[in-house]
């Protein structure tokens, strides 16, 4: 089975969800899916679809490089933890010291996206550091 067949459901989800500049290519036994999602929900849906195909994300044969178009410097993001504050850390990783906290449902300003997991943000109190992107929703 070739990779485009294996990940056809993921490719179709990207097409149906309105991913702009969608590019699908195979190189060195890896499928690359690139594009710009209209919002974070679409990107989450693509990751969920990918997780259904490869539940542990271990195959290493696909790179999902879909960015959310409104995730740019200066964008506002709401803290979407279940109920607790979000730790703001000195560096991108849970091993880094906590330099501040953002309250549940408060807003932070995106400074830059370090990667898909960690974003450099500024809290409403002016604290700067890295936050786990899973708990942020760009508005």
Where does a domain end: 68, 86, 111? 68
Question: Does residue 1 have a pLDDT over 80?
Answer: no
* Same domain as 30, residue 57: yes
DSSP character string of 116-137: SSEEEEEETT--EEEEEGGGEE
Per-residue pLDDT at 67: 73
Say how far apart CA 71 and CA 15 lie, in whole Å. Answer: 20
Whether the predicted pLDDT of 71 surpasses 70: no
Q: Verify that 84 and 51 share a domain, yes or no.
A: no
Residue 35 vs residues 46, 59, 76, 91: alpha-carbon distances, Å:
12, 21, 22, 27
**Which phi-psi region, left, alpha or beta, contains residue 104 (left: φ > 0; alpha: ψ -120 to 50)?**
beta
Are the beta carbons of 84 and 110 closer than 8 angstroms?
A: no
Q: 127 and 107 in one domain?
A: yes
Q: How confident is the model at residue 72 (pLDDT cuts 50, 70, 90)?
A: low
Average pLDDT on 43-70 reads 82
Tell me: the pLDDT tens digits for 74-129?
Answer: 789 999 999 999 999 998 889 899 999 999 999 999 987 767 788 989 999 989 99
Q: Are residues 62 and 14 in the same domain?
A: yes
Q: Are residues 84 and 35 in the same domain?
A: no
Which CATH number belongs to the domain containing residue 99 in this structure? 2.30.30.40
Total-model pTM: 0.53
81 and 133 part of one domain: yes
Same domain, 60 and 80: no
CB 81 within 8 A of CB 104: yes
Q: What is the pLDDT of residue 80?
A: 95
Structural domain ending residue among the three candidates 46, 68, 90: 68
Q: What is the pLDDT of residues 17-38, one digit of tens each?
A: 988 889 999 999 999 999 888 7
Note whether 54 and 90 are same-domain residues. Answer: no
CATH label of the domain that carries residue 55:
3.30.70.1770
- Same-domain pairing of 8 and 26: yes
Number of structural domains found in the chain: 2
- Residue ending a domain, choose from 37, 68, 99: 68
Q: How many angstroms separate the CA atoms of 92 and 45, rounded?
A: 24
Percentage, residues of the chain above pLDDT 70: 94
CA dihedral 43, 47, 48, 53 (to 10 degrees): 140
Same domain, residue pair 83 and 130: yes
On the question of pLDDT at 58 being above 70, the answer is: yes
The boundaries of the domain holding residue 60 are: 3-68
């Amino acid at each position: 089975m070739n990779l485009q067949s294996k990940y056809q459901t993921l490719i179709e989800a990207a097409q149906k969800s309105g991913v702009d500049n969608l590019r699908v290519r195979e190189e060195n036994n890896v499928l690359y899916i690139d594009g710009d999602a209209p919002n974070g929900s679409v990107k989450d849906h693509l990751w969920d679809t990918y997780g259904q195909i490869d539940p542990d994300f271990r195959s290493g044969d696909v790179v999902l490089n879909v960015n959310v178009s409104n995730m740019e410097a200066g964008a506002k993001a709401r803290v979407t933890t279940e109920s607790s504050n979000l730790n703001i850390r000195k560096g991108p990783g849970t091993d880094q010291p906590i330099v501040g906290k953002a309250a549940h449902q408060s807003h932070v300003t995106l400074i830059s996206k370090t990667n898909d997991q960690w974003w450099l943000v500024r809290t409403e109190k002016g604290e700067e550091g890295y936050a786990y992107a899973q708990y942020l929703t760009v508005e």
